[in-house]
């Protein structure tokens, strides 16, 4: 892999200085200016002006379009990082207006601009994207950025700025250890980061100011992992209940291990899905507050967490029967297909979601070596199809209430609400009918001593599915339907009563 280090700034590509207004630093306003106003202020982009990284965002947009671009990026990287950035930037389109900007820094820059100070955007990101950011904000006099040949980062960036403004001829705002060479060449170092980075800047430049910004936090990481969504994996324990093996210690232990394995895998998927769906989430009234969309958690940390969680999940899966690992693998593959493609396809998306919900029940049976009855599989598919449609219906209904006409990143229009409601209610009632037929089947006499208790399950299920859809219709469901069902008091009482009826029937 080639990395260009600029030893002679005179030989830099002309594109590096693209759009620069070369004005003498001594050009003075009408009033007697301070040294600060006379000194150009150069600003880093990734992690400083914005709370994200444009290279990683661009990369994610590219591989979402076609995952095979991962291999193409590796080939581009052989020609140098700047070359790879340029090739990616040519092929993607980012909505710069949606990117999370650091409001503290943008406010500070606006004030400096109003005072008459010259501002320059200096970034390792490709110039195509950097120019869009500068144009959007409107107060930069020029842009220094990577041009496909030179990666304007670290030492290269220091050479570029010294060539343009001279030693100690500029102030620089940055956020990482890569900026240390630039701070060393600057008149004043302005740090956006923690005390560790501030200390590194102070060692090379005693004229240092800090905008303290904390990076990683466990709270943000757990929020991104959506630990609250782990409640959906309680479905893994359903085979224990229906097979009457909930008193067997080994079966319970294997189910608990399966629960945590599936939960870690699901969190890995949630992280990946959120990183691939940044633009759609930023257009969503509620999802725009998610850690990656809002820039509260860096994409680089997210990628590391994604891999670490998946490996941890596989480690636990190795403690269980091989069949569980196969189900877990199928779940992961289907989820990837959903994230990359299926979520955009009408109806296919809800059938995929129903399959993902049902896979939890199948995984529970595989973990505890329980053979699932065809009745349970049929019931699971239909009830989860109904809940999957509830999920999509709720998102679309919220979009309509906010004045939208379509769901971002989905294949639906608000005019589809009526037909979705019909499909969803029909699937829910079909599940109840399957329950009723099962209650009258010959298999019941072999498994239950008090079969009449199952009619209570039938009645409660009929009430529950109707109640869920009434809540969705009234716009009162603000979460994943299964999470909502396991958090709402009325729903919890109904589910508890259903479990009670099953235990009575046993």
CA 474, 477, 480, 481 torsion: positive or negative?
negative
Reply yes or no on whether the pLDDT at 216 is more than 90. no
> Residue 24, by phi and psi: left (phi above 0), alpha (psi -120 to 50) or beta?
beta
* Least confident segment among 381-385, 394-398, 404-408, 420-424: 404-408
Q: pLDDT band for position 299 (50/70/90)?
A: very high
Reply yes or no on whether the pLDDT at 217 is more than 60. yes
Residue found under tokens 């909502």: 484
pTM of the model: 0.83
Q: pLDDT band for position 1 (50/70/90)?
A: very low
pLDDT score of 14: 47
Sheet strands side by side (includes 119-126): 142-146, 119-126, 41-43, 171-174, 188-193, 208-212
* Least confident segment among 172-176, 181-185, 441-445: 441-445
42 phi, psi to nearest 5 deg: -100, 135
Q: pLDDT band for position 34 (50/70/90)?
A: low
pLDDT score of 442: 80
pLDDT score of 31: 33
Q: Tell me the CA end-to-end span of the chain in Å, nearest whole number.
A: 66
- Which range has the top average pLDDT, 2-16, 299-313, 337-351, 441-455? 299-313
Average pLDDT for residues 425-442, to the nearest whole number?
91
Average pLDDT for residues 158-185, to the nearest whole number?
95
Average pLDDT for residues 241-247, to the nearest whole number?
88
CA 146, 151, 157, 159 torsion: positive or negative?
negative
Q: pLDDT band for position 406 (50/70/90)?
A: low
Give the C-alpha distances (Å, rounded to integers) separating 183 from 78, 112, 161, 208, 373: 29, 19, 11, 9, 67
Give the C-alpha distances (Å, rounded to integers) separating 311 from 50, 265, 299: 31, 8, 19
What is 9-20+37-212's CATH number?
3.40.50.1000
In the chain, what percentage of residues exceed pLDDT 90?
A: 69
Reply yes or no on whether the pLDDT at 35 is more than 70. no
Residues contacting 385, CB < 8 A, separation 6+? 350, 351, 354, 424, 427
| Torsion angle of the four alpha carbons 384, 364, 319, 250, in this order, in degrees rounded to the nearest 10 | 160
Average pLDDT for residues 198-220, to the nearest whole number?
88
Q: What one-character-per-residue DSSP string does 459-491 give? A: HHHHHHHHHHHHHHHTT---S-HHHHHTTSHHH
Reply yes or no on whether the pLDDT at 240 is more than 90. yes
pLDDT score of 353: 94
* Least confident segment among 6-15, 129-138, 221-230, 365-374: 6-15
Reply yes or no on whether the pLDDT at 142 is more than 50. yes
Average pLDDT for residues 286-311, to the nearest whole number?
94
pLDDT score of 30: 33
Per the DSSP assignment, residues forming a β-bridge with 441 are none
Domain boundaries, the chain: 9-20+37-212, 218-505
pLDDT score of 450: 78
pLDDT score of 403: 72
pLDDT score of 213: 75
Reply yes or no on whether the pLDDT at 24 is more than 80. no
Q: pLDDT band for position 407 (50/70/90)?
A: low
| Of the options 1.10.3470, 2.40.160, 1.10.600, 1.10.1040, the CATH number for the domain spanning 218-505 | 1.10.600
In the chain, what percentage of residues exceed pLDDT 70?
A: 91
Q: What span, in angstroms and rounded, lies between the C-alpha atoms of 212 and 198?
A: 9
Average pLDDT for residues 20-30, to the nearest whole number?
34
- pLDDT per residue over 257-271, tens digit each? 999 999 999 999 999
- pLDDT per residue over 119-137, tens digit each? 999 999 999 999 999 999 9
pLDDT score of 425: 95
Q: Check residues 177 and 28 and name the one with the higher pLDDT.
A: 177
pLDDT score of 12: 44
Q: What is the DSSP letter of 101?
A: B
């Amino acid at each position: 892999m080639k990395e260009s280090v600029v030893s002679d700034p005179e030989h830099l590509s002309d594109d590096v200085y693209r759009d620069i207004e070369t004005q003498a630093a001594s050009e003075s306003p009408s009033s007697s200016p301070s040294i600060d106003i006379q000194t150009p202020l150069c600003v880093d982009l990734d992690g400083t002006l914005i709370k994200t990284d444009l290279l990683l965002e661009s990369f994610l947009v590219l591989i979402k379009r076609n995952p095979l671009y991962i291999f193409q990026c590796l080939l581009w990287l052989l020609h140098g990082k700047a070359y790879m950035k340029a090739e990616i930037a040519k092929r993607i389109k980012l909505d710069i207006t949606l990117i999370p900007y650091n409001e503290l820094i943008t406010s500070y820059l606006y004030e400096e601009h109003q005072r008459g100070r010259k501002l320059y955007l200096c970034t390792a990101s490709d110039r195509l994207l950097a120019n869009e950011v500068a144009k959007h904000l409107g107060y930069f006099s020029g842009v220094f950025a990577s041009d496909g040949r030179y990666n304007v980062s670290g030492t290269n960036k220091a050479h570029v700025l010294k060539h343009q403004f001279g030693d100690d001829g500029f102030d620089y705002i940055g956020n990482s250890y890569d900026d240390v060479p630039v701070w060393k060449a600057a008149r004043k170092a302005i740090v956006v980061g923690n005390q560790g980075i501030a200390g590194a800047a102070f060692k090379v430049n005693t004229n240092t100011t800090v905008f303290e910004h904390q990076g990683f936090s466990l709270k943000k990481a757990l929020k991104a992992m959506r630990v609250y969504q782990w409640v959906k994996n309680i479905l893994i324990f359903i085979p224990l209940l229906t097979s009457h093996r909930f008193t067997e210690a080994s079966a319970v232990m294997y189910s608990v291990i399966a629960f945590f394995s599936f939960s870690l895998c699901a969190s890995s998927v949630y992280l990946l899905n959120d990183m691939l769906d940044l633009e759609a989430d930023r257009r969503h009234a509620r999802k725009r507050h998610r850690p990656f969309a809002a820039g509260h958690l860096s994409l680089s940390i997210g990628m590391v967490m994604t891999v670490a969680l998946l490996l941890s999940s596989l480690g636990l899966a190795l403690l269980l029967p091989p069949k569980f690992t196969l189900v877990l693998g199928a779940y992961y593959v289907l989820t990837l297909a959903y994230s990359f493609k299926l979520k955009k396809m009408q109806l296919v998306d809800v059938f995929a979601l129903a399959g993902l919900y049902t896979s939890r029940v199948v995984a529970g049976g595989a973990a505890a070596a329980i053979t699932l009855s065809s009745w349970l599989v049929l019931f699971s598919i239909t009830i989860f199809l109904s809940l999957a449609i509830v999920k999509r219906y709720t998102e679309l209904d919220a979009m309509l209430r906010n004045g939208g006409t379509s769901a971002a990143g989905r294949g639906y229009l608000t005019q589809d609400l009526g037909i979705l409601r019909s499909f969803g209610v029909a699937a829910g009632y079909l599940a109840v009918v399957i329950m009723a037929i099962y209650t009258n089947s010959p298999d019941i006499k072999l498994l239950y001593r008090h079969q009449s208790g199952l009619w209570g399950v039938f009645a409660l299920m009929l009430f529950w599915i109707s109640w869920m859809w009434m809540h969705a219709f009234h716009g009162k469901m603000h979460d994943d339907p299964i999470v909502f069902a396991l958090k709402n008091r009325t729903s919890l009482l109904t589910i508890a009563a259903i479990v009670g009826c099953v235990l009575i029937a046993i």
